[in-house]
Amino acid sequence: MKDTFKSNDFVQTVHTIHAKRIHFTYCKAIVDQELIQNELLHRIQISEAEINHLLVLKNVIPLENIKLSSNVDEISQSLTKGFIYIQLEPDLNEGLLVHVADLRRGYRLNNEADNEYSVIGPKVGFVEDIDTNLNLLRKELISENLRFEEYIVGSLSQSRVTIVYLDGVCNPQHVNTVRQRIEDAGVDVLFDSSILDQIITDNAKSPFPLFMSSERVDRAKYSILSGQVAIFSSGSPYFIAGPTTVFDFFVSPEDYYLPWVLASFFRCIRYLGVAFSILATPFYVAVLTFHYSVIPQSLLGPIIESRANVPFAPFLEVLQLELTVELLREAGVRLPTKVGQTLGIVGGIVLGQAAVQASLTSNILIIIVSLSALSSFTTPIFKMANTIRFLRFPLIGLAAAWGSLGIIIGLTLLLGHLLRLKSLGTPYIVPLFPFRFHEFKDSFIRSSLSLTFNRPRYFRPLSLKRYKVSKSKDIPDDYNNE
């Protein structure tokens, strides 16, 4: 049980009541503090009975689900489920386990994960209260090996930051690295966990996110069980987790709630959508500026007719249309939901039609830019979607300068940058580099659960097995034996 108390959210206090010293041990992240104060401590204080034995104390407490226990394993398991352990001096070898879990906190109507919506699976998200978020984790991960370590960051804000990991699974080197970087964070105010992300990241100059950021409880559980370190901060509904790879940002929680064939298909669609979103408009500029010969003859006529009255070069034509789409997207995000949706639909239709009639752009380019913008929305993580939106613009400039050679140069520089990136010391594009063939089971595709029972080796977990594969399917049932 002593190992359980290594977590900072476990509290041990001693109260002297009626000349008797009573020890209380509980997990503050999951218990109901009001219930402890009003129904437990208050009833003991006003009791007229002489509390000289645990059975007397048991009769005084007006709560159900109370039991005597001296078993260390049972006590440790009960503490992680919302029990408080009460011991009475001088005999500290036995105590009372009283259930005082807060079953209401965290589960309310306004903590749905609206920004990472999925049709299948749980929809509970984190909120701005860090105690509520830790409460949700304790309810979902009932393990005495779940560790919470709390720090205070910000000389003015004094914000609470808690790192969460699974002892015996997460590599201690990753935990120590996160500890050191948080302790060295010299900020005055910590507004959000994204600020902490930029402070502790391995490369703050990169446009690529090196820490996973999400508001979903199920994604936090998956990250912790995989051997990652999750970081929560007060005032933020988002957690960050690391180390991560670039492939983690294209994984949706819904992938694991669907059959593996469908999940793999949709994940491949996601990767194709990202490639199209980045390369579609640069190829349009390169082809119309330098490589007319690659255009099929059947398509050459519609392109000439579409661009006959457009006064701008392909580069300026693409640039103004891409900027218009970004303006519409930014305006839609900043406005209230219903108004933003109306602006996006009406503004896109009206501006697109007006731009074609005014000969400011071509019909074909509007189709390409629209599909490119639509493809960028397939990325589940918002931070990676922003990176994809940004990467189009330098590639468009390189395509306008050197055509397809410029695109190749841009992609080469991008690949070189990705090869240098690391997240908590883990290569960013593993298992592609360093090449790990066996780790492709849950990167480009989502393999069957019978093949993904191991945690990712590149996270260097202390415990490799995530679960055991059942062999019951291979055993014929009674019906087949007849």
Residues 346-389 pLDDT 10s: 666 667 777 777 777 788 888 888 888 888 888 888 889 899 98
| Residue 88 is assigned to a structural domain of this protein | yes
Share of the chain above pLDDT 90, in %: 32
Pair 95, 118 in one domain:
no
Q: What is the mean pLDDT of residues 265-280?
A: 93
pLDDT at 61 over 90: no
Q: What is the mean pLDDT of residues 194-201?
A: 91
Pair 85, 120 in one domain:
no
Long-range contacts of 337-343 (CB under 8 A, 24+ apart): none
| Residue 17 is assigned to a structural domain of this protein | yes
What is the spatial distance between Cα 329 and Cα 369, in angstroms, rounded to a whole number?
13
| Residue 105 is assigned to a structural domain of this protein | no
pLDDT at 476 over 80: no
pLDDT in tens, 236-256: 899 999 899 999 999 888 888
Mean pLDDT over all residues of the chain? 85
Pair 64, 200 in one domain:
no
pLDDT at 104 over 70: no
Do residues 321 and 365 make contact, with C-beta atoms less than 8 angstroms apart? Answer: yes
The pTM for the full model equals 0.84
pLDDT at 177 over 90: yes
Pair 217, 300 in one domain:
no
Instruction: Give the confidence band of 336 by pLDDT, cuts at 50, 70, 90.
Output: low
Q: What is the mean pLDDT of residues 128-148?
A: 88
| Residue 261 is assigned to a structural domain of this protein | no
End of a domain among 383, 403, 427? 427
Pair 313, 340 in one domain:
yes
- pLDDT of the residue at 421: 95
| Residue 86 is assigned to a structural domain of this protein | yes
Pair 306, 215 in one domain:
no
If you average pLDDT over each of 46-55, 119-128, 416-425, which comes out highest? 416-425
- pLDDT of the residue at 211: 94
End of a domain among 427, 450, 467? 427
In this structure, are strands 91-99 and 146-153 parallel, antiparallel, or unpaired?
Answer: unpaired
47-56, 107-116, 383-392, 442-451: which range is least confident on average? 107-116
Pair 416, 329 in one domain:
yes
Pair 279, 369 in one domain:
yes
DSSP state of 379: -
Q: Would you call the peptide bond into 336 cis, given omega within 30 degrees of 0 as the criterion?
A: no
Pair 55, 184 in one domain:
no
174 token code pair: 């990753």
**Burial class for 347, CB neighbours closer than 10 Å (0-12, 13-18, 19+):** middle
Q: Can you give the residue range of the structural domain that contains 181?
A: 114-244
End of a domain among 411, 427, 443? 427
What is the spatial distance between Cα 149 and Cα 170, in angstroms, rounded to a whole number?
14
Q: Give the number of other CB atoms < 10 A from CB of residue 316.
A: 15
What is the spatial distance between Cα 137 and Cα 164, in angstroms, rounded to a whole number?
9
CA distances from 269 to 82, 276, 332, 369 (A): 43, 10, 26, 18
Task: Give the count of domains, the chain.
Answer: 3
Q: What is the mean pLDDT of residues 264-283?
A: 93
Pair 331, 420 in one domain:
yes
Pair 94, 118 in one domain:
no
Pair 280, 373 in one domain:
yes
Residue 218's SS3 state is helix
| Residue 284 is assigned to a structural domain of this protein | yes
| Residue 457 is assigned to a structural domain of this protein | no
| Residue 207 is assigned to a structural domain of this protein | yes
- pLDDT of the residue at 479: 47
